[in-house]
Structure 1
């Protein structure tokens, strides 16, 4: 009787051992038989990890640069270092049929490289040069009424050169807190040294900025 029990136990233990070995080896056999998979699949990516990745991707697609940037809104007597975000084509449309035609790309570039609102730069040029039709603009390419320090006015090889000079002048001397003419970042602040604080000057510049901003809005709505 004892021999029968021992023998039975030996058989049962051997069976358990074989079963355990079979279970351990099973994943390797199955893995060998499976078709080629992606790296993420072969390392045993869990459903939780996959869900996490899909959520991250959804968030990334939702919060793109375009949705994070607040569209520019004209603010009367606002900060002139807040960029308009207008395209070169939109700015060029504002200059069509005037003596400033062809400078849209230049103004768009100066907004980005100099950190000055392009609508402000254009409005100053429109006012100071009579929309590019003044004798100073036509004969000297001086679009900003920029003086030479000798009771005269500067001359520029091209209108683009004038835009570059004026944008640099405004950035370094008028809108930089360390600039020698800095009084603040609004049209009224700039006017204190640019044109003796003329109320007529900064109110006209503001009026042109508003008009240009509204025209861009109309173009976008019609597109």
Structure 2
């Protein structure tokens, strides 16, 4: 991380140095020409700086995700669609890995949380509600019944939006905090068994991906 930052600074500083030399090397230029060259140099320097910022993004410099019990659910994993799909294989949720990866990025919600809630609420996609109504989250319709969705993907989209806007947004009507325990206060009446089971699944899913990464690293070596 430090090397990347140093390299970025070197690129910016080098750009400014070259521009400074270019301006001072023309002592016979008129005042108007000097002003124009200075403005041009400043514009180019700003362009170089922006290019460096875009190259060395926070994502490139950030540390790998580490699961933390009852952690902030808006901290994303950055896991690939293929990695998330390994958590769903041989279950009724199979094939949704890419969709969960996308919802994590577009909605800013931890993919392990989204998947773990679906695994718990839908019996790994095998409950009658999941099979007959594509309802993976135990989502109620407000009339003592449960919502139906055209596809499982539609349910994932709806649930991710619901959690983002109403549960994990500080201005949301169900916001109590950003942990699974906080979400449970309104999502399922504060059930301790619900959020502890969700956390257990998140921990297990995290461990599975870490183990897979270690195996892949060992094979590559």
Match of 2:169 among 176, 185, 197: 176
Counterpart of 1:113 in structure 2 is 106
Name 1:188's counterpart in structure 2. Answer: 181
Indicate whether 1:149 and 2:119 are aligned: no
Matching residue of 1:167: 160
CA distance in 1, matches of 2:80, 2:60: 17
Given the two structures, how large is their TM-score scaled by the length of structure 1? 0.72
CA distance in 2, matches of 1:125, 1:182: 20
1:95 and 2:80 equivalent? Answer: no
Task: State the alpha-carbon separation in 1 of the partners of residues 205 and 142 from structure 2.
Answer: 31
Distance in 1 between the 2:125 and 2:154 partners?
14
For 1:70 and 1:111, how far apart are their aligned partners in 2?
17
In structure 2, the partner of 1:131 is 124
Alignment of 1:1-223 (within 5 A): 64-65=56-57, 67-223=60-216
Paired residues in the alignment total: 170
Shift of 1:178: 0.2
Query: Which segments of 5 or more consecutive residues in structure 2 lack a partner in the other structure?
Result: 1-21, 23-51, 217-221
Structure 1 residue 222 displacement after superposition: 1.0
Superposed CA deviations along residues 106-127 of structure 1, whole A, max 9, x for unmatched, are 0000000000000000000000
Q: Which runs of no fewer than 5 residues in structure 1 stay unpaired?
A: 1-42, 44-59
Runs of 4 or more, structure 1, over 4 Å off, are 63-67
CA distance in 2, matches of 1:74, 1:201: 18
Distance 2:77 2:212 in 1: 15
Secondary structure at 1:95's aligned position in 2? coil
Q: TM-score, normalised by structure 2?
A: 0.72
Deviation per residue, 1:109-159 (Å, 9 max, x gap): 000000000000000000000000000000000000000000000000000
* Cα distance in 2 between the residues matched to 1:64 and 1:130: 42
In the TM superposition, what is the alpha-carbon distance from 1:67 to its structure 2 partner?
4.9
Distance in 2 (alpha carbons) for counterparts of 1:111 and 1:220: 20
Shift of 1:69: 1.1
